[in-house]
């Protein structure tokens, strides 16, 4: 295997001191422009690669931010990462991205890799089954900031970036009730995660405020995948008291549930009105188009990275434990029934801000 080219190799070729080569490669003003150009050309010719890792270690900073996502094949997560990349690039930081694949075991391995890679800070959206936060303790002990986004921890030493999932769910459910729905099913994910637990709370509050009953049969819990959407629809078709409204915690599951119901002869929204969550692009191309909560993923990514960089720069501290972004219900054909159009612009009662 060929050995790595060093500044000593470049210095030998040009009959210069290693100090001059090092200064030139770091754009030091003490080296004149012509000498710098000769050194750059020789470095390129020899295949020199700057050891930024070692250089940054000397400065106690690697200019890298670790990101752990539950899964990458998600429109929402892609949008979040795009927002993160924008802010990180502007601030001369690089992102190291890994996915937990929705398992705590993989999340623990990812966290260890990030720690050993000496990231300056860590951004995390928790896996479905994560309960214990011990794998993030090494970051605390080394004063490495950790910020959770979307799926967050209640740990007091970790900040979080979220939307008000209780209010968003309340708004979605209230909209279905305004459309005449009286028997609404909520399809959601693992209730260990804040996003799904809070959406269930908002669903319950909306039923309570409108004098509608709630029971365990009103909730279907699954992994919110395409297959889960199909299975949920099949379960609904077998119900003795078929629902007239569905509020689903993500759009992928909602669309496949809706398509399965439609193929079974169910008219949407006349027989069953449907609202999803995230406002993914698929909402606009499915027929009928899917009403959904617009989740500001790009903004969430921007805010998460900007907050982390502020911590690293000493412009903020982690006493700011929660940043809440705004969301919005986008009403489309899947939930808007004939004769109920006037409700489309109706303002909904606001819940007190959740903490």
Q: Can you give the pLDDT of all 355 residues of the chain as single tens digits?
A: 456 788 889 999 999 998 898 888 877 888 898 999 999 899 888 878 666 555 554 456 789 999 999 999 888 999 999 999 999 999 999 999 999 999 999 999 999 999 988 899 999 999 988 988 999 999 988 888 999 999 998 777 788 999 999 999 999 999 999 999 999 999 999 998 999 999 999 999 999 999 999 999 999 999 999 999 999 999 999 999 999 999 999 999 999 999 999 999 999 999 999 999 999 999 999 999 999 999 999 999 999 999 999 888 877 665 557 899 999 999 999 999 876 654 444 434 344 444 3
Fill in the DSSP letter of residue 244: S
pLDDT in the model for residue 354 = 41
Fill in the DSSP letter of residue 92: T
pLDDT in the model for residue 45 = 87
CATH 3.40.50.2300 location in the chain:
60-164+297-325, 165-294+328-345
- Superfamily, domain 165-294+328-345: Response regulator (3.40.50.2300)
Question: Three-class SS of residue 310?
Answer: helix
Fill in the DSSP letter of residue 205: H
**Selection from 119, 112, 116 nearest residue 145 by Cα:** 119
CATH class of 60-164+297-325: alpha beta
- Superfamily, domain 7-50: lambda repressor-like DNA-binding domains (1.10.260.40)
**Cross-strand bridge partners of residue 162:** 324
Question: Three-class SS of residue 317?
Answer: coil
The pairing of beta strand 94-99 with beta strand 121-124: unpaired
* 343 touches 175 (CB < 8 A): yes
Q: 92 in the Ramachandran plot: left (φ > 0), alpha (ψ -120 to 50) or beta? A: left
**Helical pair 194-209 and 165-178, crossing angle rounded to 10 deg:** 40
CATH 1.10.260.40 location in the chain:
7-50
Spatial distance between the Cα atoms of 147 and 312, rounded to a whole number of angstroms: 12
Give the C-alpha distances (Å, rounded to integers) separating 2 from 49, 54, 80, 243.
13, 20, 40, 68
Spatial distance between the Cα atoms of 181 and 177, rounded to a whole number of angstroms: 5
């Amino acid at each position: 295997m060929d050995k790595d080219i060093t500044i000593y190799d470049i210095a030998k070729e040009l009959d210069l001191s290693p100090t001059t080569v090092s200064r030139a490669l770091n754009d030091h003003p003490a080296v004149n422009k012509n000498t710098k150009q000769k050194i750059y050309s020789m470095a390129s010719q020899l295949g020199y690669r700057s050891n930024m890792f070692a250089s940054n270690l000397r400065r106690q900073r690697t200019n890298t931010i670790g990101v752990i996502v539950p899964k990458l094949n998600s429109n929402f997560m892609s949008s979040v990462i795009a927002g993160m990349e924008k802010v990180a690039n502007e601030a001369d930081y690089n992102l190291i991205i890994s996915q937990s694949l929705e398992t705590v075991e993989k999340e623990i391995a990812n966290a260890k890799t990030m720690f050993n890679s000496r990231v300056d800070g860590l951004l995390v959206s928790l896996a479905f089954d994560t309960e214990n936060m011990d794998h993030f303790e090494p970051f605390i002990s080394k004063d490495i900031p950790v910020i959770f986004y979307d799926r967050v921890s209640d740990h007091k030493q970790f900040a979080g970036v979220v939307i008000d999932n209780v209010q968003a769910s309340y708004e979605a459910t209230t909209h279905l009730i305004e459309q005449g729905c009286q028997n609404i099913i909520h399809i959601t994910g693992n209730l260990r995660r804040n996003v799904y637990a809070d959406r269930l709370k908002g669903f319950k509050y909306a039923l309570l405020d409108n004098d509608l009953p709630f029971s365990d049969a009103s909730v279907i819990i699954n992994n919110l995948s395409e297959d889960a959407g199909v299975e949920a629809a099949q379960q609904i078709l077998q119900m003795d008291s078929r629902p007239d409204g569905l509020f689903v915690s993500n759009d992928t599951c909602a669309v496949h549930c809706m398509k399965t119901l439609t193929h079974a002869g169910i008219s949407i929204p006349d027989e069953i009105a449907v609202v999803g969550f995230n406002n993914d692009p698929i909402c606009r191309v499915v027929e009928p188009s899917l009403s959904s909560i617009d989740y500001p993923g790009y903004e969430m990514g921007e805010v998460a990275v900007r907050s982390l960089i502020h911590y690293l720069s000493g412009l903020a501290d982690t006493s700011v434990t929660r940043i809440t972004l705004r969301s919005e219900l986008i009403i489309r054909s899947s939930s808007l029934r004939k004769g109920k159009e006037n409700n489309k612009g109706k303002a909904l009662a606001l819940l007190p801000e959740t903490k």
